[in-house]
Amino acid sequence: MGYIIALGEGTTTVTVRTEDGDITKEIQVTVVPRLQEDEIIFDSSLNVNQSEISGIDINTNTIEHMKQMIQTKYVIEIYDYNGQKLADDDLFGTGCKIRLIDENNIIKMEYEVVVYGDVNGDGKINSVDLLVLQRHILEIEKLKGVFLKAGNINKNGKNPSSLDSLLIQRHILGLKMIEQ
């Protein structure tokens, strides 16, 4: 594992090579200035932690509603976890990317969305999420990244368990809604 430390603004190519030298990969990296606090203001209901956003109301999770919860001079574009640009009436869910884009079409900041209980990224919490979480618990198909975090409904920092599965079931049945 290594780190890249930016020395200034601009674009450069970074070459990454395995220790044995068998695999080499080049990636282009663009460094832009950090956003100032007054360049973006989030609705107080959202939880923003570095480049991650949670606290989304599952009942009003349309792209249009999310755009209204962010005040910025930049263009807001939202993509699903597969990289498809979403329309204003689409739902957003776990894994969505919220991009702030300047007048030169440069991404100034990108945020990733976590909706607790939405482990398949469709913006809904339903039996599909329950099945995906159960497959993770049984080690059939492991969750990764923000999807793993979305499965930790208990928010205890541990790997999702049968308790998290129970919380999804209770949400589906309307017994107790998952707190975002």
DSSP letter for each residue of the chain = -------SSEEEEEEEE-TTSS-EEEEEEEE-PPPPGGGEEE-TTSEEETTEEE---GGG-BHHHHHHTEEESSEEEEE-TTSPBPPTTSB--TT-EEEEE-TTS-EEEEEEE--TT--SSSS--SHHHHHHHHHHHTTSS---HHHHHHH-TT-SSSPP-HHHHHHHHHHHTTSSPPP-
The confidence score (pLDDT) of residue 1 equals 57
pLDDT tens, 61-106? 899 999 999 999 999 999 999 999 999 999 989 999 999 999 999 8
Lowest pLDDT segment from 13-22, 72-81, 157-166: 13-22
pTM above 0.95, yes or no: no
| Residue linked to tokens 């017994």 | 175
Cα(135)–Cα(173) distance, integer angstroms: 20
pLDDT tens, 106-160? 899 999 999 999 999 999 999 999 999 999 999 999 999 999 999 999 999 899 9
